[in-house]
Structure 1
């Protein structure tokens, strides 16, 4: 009672194809495959030498912080 048979899954698949259409499902599959491939490529590039080059987000946030930071020296009164 808790598990679905193959016929249940075929009916669900048929309903999904009728609702979305095969072209839309193909586009979704291509987009998902491209995202997975890009993620894998990014993981390969990230493991080469992470200490030598900072991430792009870190560089941008560091430059933004440099523009907003005011460098001053405090002097003590005598």
Structure 2
């Protein structure tokens, strides 16, 4: 009592199929699947972009350090 039985779910499924038809339900399922795939792809692309940015950040820091070191050497040579 209080729960939905398998028979009640089957009756609801039959009513939905009669109202919308199998073709519309198939199209709806395909659209929903395409939306989920697009969402997953967008999330993976965003993660890949973050990873690429994270990998480039240390290189940029190293470049900045080396540029600062060469500037310090030039300043010492000029003095």
Q: TM-score, normalised by structure 1?
A: 0.62
Residue 3 (1) aligns with residue 3 (2): yes
Matches of 2:49 and 2:18, distance apart in 1: 48
Gaps of 5+ in 2: 54-79
- Aligned-pair distance for 1:37? 0.2
| 1:44 aligned counterpart, secondary structure | helix
- Number of aligned residue pairs: 53
Matches of 1:38 and 1:15, distance apart in 2: 31
Alignment of 1:9-28 (within 5 A): 9-28=9-28
Say which structure is richer in helix: 2
Report the aligned-residue RMSD. Answer: 1.8
Gaps of 5+ in 1: 54-78
Alignment of 1:37-48 (within 5 A): 37-48=37-48
Runs of 4+ in 1 over 4 A off after TM superposition: none
Matches of 1:23 and 1:32, distance apart in 2: 14
Compare CA radii of gyration and give the structure with the larger one. Answer: 2
Q: TM-score, normalised by structure 2?
A: 0.61
Residue 32 (1) aligns with residue 15 (2): no
